[in-house]
Chains A and B, each alone.
Chain A
Amino acid sequence: MRPQERRKFLRSIALGIGLVGTSLLGFIPVLGGWVRRLRPPGALQEKRFLAACIKCGQCVQVCPVEAIKLADLDDGFGVGVPYIEARAQACDFSCDGLQCVLACPTGALTHELNYSHETDMGIAKVVSPATCLAVQGKGFKGQARGADFTGTLRYDAVDRWNPIPVRDHPYDLELCDLCVRQCPIEIRIAQCDAGTPPSGDERQCPPQHAIELQPMADENGVNRMLPVILDGCVGCGVCEMICPVEPTVIVIDSSESRGMSA
């Protein structure tokens, strides 16, 4: 080989090591599972989800509350993979039809579910009960997350179809029950109990409760309640988002997602 040719060959080997090395560098956090994030509804079990996602963001585009974001280089898992930051904006199923699932072209969000109660994104956990307003027997008055909070929710009583900013919907509660009151599963159960399931479709009715307030014993005669997560919780994150306490009393644990099996 001529020296010029040899240099070109060595250069090409270096290019190969550089490019493949960089791509593998991006794979290490994925392999190590460094960061677990809440995934959109219908996401397959994490490893399979990461394999199947084509990183097109169609789920981002159809979400009416803009809950889904795409990961960047520094998020600690695949670039372009969707996740939900529930505290900032949770999935409240206000699309009713699981639009992100329908939009997903690869089945990373499995098409084998149709209703919000069939999803399994994670499980809510009451992480600091001592700071919970209901546990302290306190009420709540005002904007749940303050005037600067940009998150939105759909309030059926205000607008059946369009989500509105949470800050435009102040509360006045004798005992804070926001996590239960805004739980999309609980809202559907209440609608079904009233004989008006969403879209008149009985299949929208969740079979199990997701969260409830349970009375606590108190010697001073204060009405104290403890939020308790039940089997019907799908990990949508609305309770985490709406909790008015800083830091939030309730968070979603996505590692306990059973993962969709398809």
Chain B
Amino acid sequence: MSQFIDSLAELLGREPRKKPHPDDIMPEIVAIHRDKHEDKSRIEKIKMEMAHKAQHAAPEKLRRKRWAVLILVNLLFVLSFQLDIQMLEGALTASRFVGFHLADLNSALQVMLAYKHVVINLLIGTVTVFIGWWLLGGRTFCSWVCPYHLLAEWAEIIHEKLAKKRLVKDHPFDRRARTWFWLIFVVLALVTGYTVFETISPTGILSRALIYGPGLALLWVLLLLLFEIFYSRRAWCRYACPIGLTYGVVGALSPFKVQYHLESCFHEGECRKVCLVPHVLNTVIKGRARGQDVDIGADCTRCGRCVEACPTSSLTYKFKGLGDLL
């Protein structure tokens, strides 16, 4: 239970806990830490593998698969309208999948607060999407569906290259900002009676631009991407997007998550380098794990980059009750 509360608190912006008190560490965990370093040859092997990887960067296969899924989902929206195949009609804010209503949770929330009235179709769409993303992990929406996430990943690649050449520097923001934005937009919808957030939602703007044709609103998306390239890495998804926070809460109790296995981990920190939300991987830092198998927190988008980056396969997808997936 305390793990669940920690996960929610970190989602809202609290800094992750530092080392647990020595008295709180279970003896078996102390034993794991003591024993796993005895196998020197294994550690050497991992070091060599990592050196090799640094020289010959292999393509991130899982990442490409995820991009393919993201593009396919958005393509399904586009083709449903452009070719009239009517599979997935509407946009990411609200749609119908072969006739069944779906509504983006944050958009639906904004409309409910602004309109102060809920029609049954919207309720059906909201509940369906809630259950769907609860099963799939909540912020899974972000990395596997949201079109802005894909553009932001490409912008991040540029940012990283420029940062390597010391041409740009990452300026982090306070992670609590996102919680404040979420609250402010909730209050604004209630008070103004208008879905104020929709105007600046890059997810909605991009989804509509893909389906119904581009418009000037894309300039805002471009501005956000430039901001992320030159000033602050992944700023929108990390510090601003209320959609991400909403799905984060949905995923807090999801059966689908990334799980950390202390026993095989040698704390190289490769996972934290690629992670959109590195605070969820606080537990992998030497001495911080509070158990042998730790579920990664609610803010995790289940993108799988850490799963792929880990040299010792110490991070895996897990679907509660179904055993190891990958």
Contacts and interface: CB of A to CB of B under 8 A. Distances in A.
Interface in A62-117: 62, 70, 72-74, 78-80, 103, 105-108, 111
A106 B122 contact: yes
B147 to A, nearest CB: 15
B301 to A, nearest CB: 21
B93 A54 contact: yes
B101 A105 contact: yes
Contact of A52 (B104, B117, B177, B219): B117
Interface in A16-58: 16, 19-20, 22-24, 26-27, 30-31, 47-48, 50-58
Of listed B81, B184, B200, residue having the most chain A CB within 10 A: B200
Contacts of A23: 185, 188, 196-197, 199-200
Given A15-B239, A30-B194, 4 more contacts: A48-B193, A72-B217, A105-B121, A107-B122
B219 A58 contact: no
B190 to A, nearest CB: 11
B154 interface: no
A58 B207 CA distance: 13
A12 interface: yes
Interface in B73-107: 80-81, 89-91, 93-96, 101, 103-104, 107
B243 interface: no
A254 to B, nearest CB: 19
B4 interface: no
B240 interface: yes
A54 B184 contact: no
B292 interface: no
A183 interface: no
A11 interface: yes
Given A20-B181, A57-B90, A80-B204, A52 B217 contact: no
A60 interface: yes
Contact of A78 (B93, B94, B194, B239): B194
Given A11-B173, A15-B177, A16-B180, A52 B204 contact: no
A203 interface: no
A183 to B, nearest CB: 29
Enumerate the 5 nearest inter-chain pairs by beta-carbon distance, A residue then B residue, closest first. Answer: A26-B199, A107-B119, A56-B94, A72-B215, A12-B174
Main secondary structure of the interface of B (DSSP, over half): helix
Contacts of B95: 56, 58
Contacts of A47: 193
Contacts of B215: 72-73
B36 interface: no
Contacts of A19: 181, 200, 240
A111 B119 contact: yes
A17 to B, nearest CB: 11
Interface residues of B, number: 56
Contacts of B216: 72-74
A31 B204 CA distance: 21
Interface residues of A, number: 42
Contact of A31 (B107, B172, B192): B192
Given A12-B239, A72-B216, A105-B122, A54 B108 contact: yes
A8 B175 CA distance: 10
A61 interface: yes
A73 B200 CA distance: 10
Given A11-B171, A56-B94, A51 B111 contact: yes
A9 interface: yes
A104 to B, nearest CB: 8
Contacts of B96: 58, 103, 105
Of listed A19, A50, A74, residue having the most chain B CB within 10 A: A19
A229 B39 CA distance: 91
B173 A70 contact: no
A197 to B, nearest CB: 28
B200 A26 contact: yes
Contact of A27 (B81, B122, B192): B192
B177 A16 contact: yes
12 contacts: A23-B185, A23-B197, A51-B193, A52-B115, A56-B93, A56-B94, A61-B89, A80-B208, A105-B94, A105-B119, A105-B125, A107-B117
